[in-house]
Amino acid sequence: MTVQVTAGTAPRVVNFAANPTTITEGDSSTLTWNVENAKTVSITTLGTVTPTGTRPVTPATTTTYTLTATNDNGSVTATATITVNPKTPGGGGGGTPPTLTRCVASPTTTAKPGDSVVISYLAQNATGITISGVNGATITGPVTVTPQATTTYNLVVTGANNQTATCSVTVTVPTPAPPVAIIAGPSVIETIYRQVTLDATPSNTPGGGALTYVWEPLSTGAAVLDQGQPITRVQFGGLFGDYIFRLTVRNAAGQSDSTTVTVRFRNTNPH
């Protein structure tokens, strides 16, 4: 099953699968689906259907069925492919083809990168199985994966005479919110001293985790004394005036944000 999620709060496809996923020409497979929070649900060639249901289908050739669930906030699509093997001339000699059933991921959307997802399946008449990105998968399953980004896992089982059955499941992993760089205090800090402390501890990363801090003097005659720290001392060796410093924060996902502050080095005795 492949799931594609559009922006916004869309419906949720709990399950959309074919059983079996591989048939011989003339045989039937059953589509099963379960959708939450949808106003309308439709499936290729079947038209509008109820949010939960089953329907036998008899495709003449290998067919991918697309389920579309829609509400006011957007839509979700999921696919289920049924592989149709041609009949063996004379009704024999080809061996019983393998099948894949219960090919689903739970959950289909994680809360954050690295969360565990269980891919469940059942292979019949199979001698081996491969799953993209997974080592050591067994024919009986299930397997647990921890995707860091949205990933499609392709499952392929082999059987007699190199016949195969395939299915795929997509696990959607949300992109973490970027960090926010914040320097405490006003945007212009006035001082009569050649050394000032800047505080970036209000910076945050909504997705959680540690931040790295990079301070940069953007004006000649200024220096950062405590690089890489959320609280740093800056120093002026030049003339009175405005000195600009840039802070960049970066989270574990590599996302970053920057902000600047102006420190006004003021002369208390202008005459």
CA distance 146 to 105: 12
Mean pLDDT computed over 214-234: 95
My answer on whether 137 and 200 are in the same domain is no
Share of the chain above pLDDT 90, in %: 61
Asked whether the predicted pLDDT for residue 196 surpasses 90, the reply is: yes
232 in the same domain as 136? no
pLDDT at 32: 93
Q: Is residue 183 situated within a structural domain? A: no
Total domains, the chain: 2
Residue 94 lies in a domain: yes
Nearest to 217 by CA among 265, 260, 266: 260
**Quick one: 129 and 211 in the same domain?**
no
Q: Which of 140, 171, 202 is the last residue of a domain?
A: 171
Provide the β-strand partners of residue 156.
Answer: 130, 166
How does the average pLDDT of the chain come out, rounded? 88
User: Given this model, what pLDDT does residue 88 score?
Assistant: 62
pLDDT attached to residue 94: 55
pLDDT at 270: 59
* pLDDT surpassing 50 at residue 187: yes
Do 33 and 117 fall into the same domain?
yes
Q: Tell me: pLDDT of 81 over 70.
A: yes
Same domain, 18 and 100: yes
**93 and 121 belong to one structural domain:** yes
202 plus 160 within the same structural domain:
no
Compute the distance between CA of residue 84 and CA of residue 90 in angstroms, rounded to an integer: 18
Is 60 exceeded by the pLDDT of residue 240? Answer: yes
Tell me: do 204 and 155 sit in the same domain.
no
More confident residue, 234 or 96: 234
Same domain, 192 and 165: no
pLDDT-derived band at 5 (thresholds 50, 70, 90) equals: very low
Q: Which of 40, 42, 37 is closest to 16 using CA atoms?
A: 42
User: What pLDDT is stored for residue 194 in this prediction?
Assistant: 93
Determine the length of the chain: 271
Query: Do 28 and 103 lie in a common domain?
Result: yes
pLDDT confidence bin for 69, thresholds 50/70/90: very high
| Region 74-81 average pLDDT | 91
d(CA 266, CA 50): 72
Please report, as a single letter, which amino acid is at residue 74: G
Domain end point (choices 137, 171, 205): 171
Sheet holding 195-199, edge to edge: 195-199, 231-236, 222-224
* 11-37: average pLDDT: 90
Domain of 71: which CATH number?
Answer: 2.60.40.10
Residue-level pLDDT at 89? 53
Q: Give the pLDDT mean for 237-256.
A: 91
Higher pLDDT, 210 or 90: 210
Domain assignment of residue 179, yes or no: no
pLDDT on residue 271? 55
Q: Which of 7-11, 140-144, 245-249, 252-256 has the lowest mean pLDDT?
A: 7-11
What's the rounded mean pLDDT across residues 145-169? 90
The residue out of 139, 171, 203 marking a domain boundary is 171
Q: Kindly report the pTM of this predicted structure.
A: 0.46
Report residue 90's pLDDT band, with 50, 70 and 90 as the boundaries: very low
pLDDT band at 93 (very low <50, low <70, confident <90, very high): very low
> Is residue 177 in a domain?
no
| Domain with 76 in it | 2-171
270 domain-assigned: no
Q: Say if 92 falls within a structural domain.
A: yes
264 falls in which pLDDT band (50, 70, 90)? very high
Q: Which two tokens stand for residue 83?
A: 């592989």
Residues 88, 23 share a domain = yes
Q: Same structural domain for residues 154 and 246?
A: no
Residue 115 domain-assigned (yes or no):
yes
Q: Is the pLDDT of residue 221 over 80?
A: yes
Residue 182 lies in a domain: no
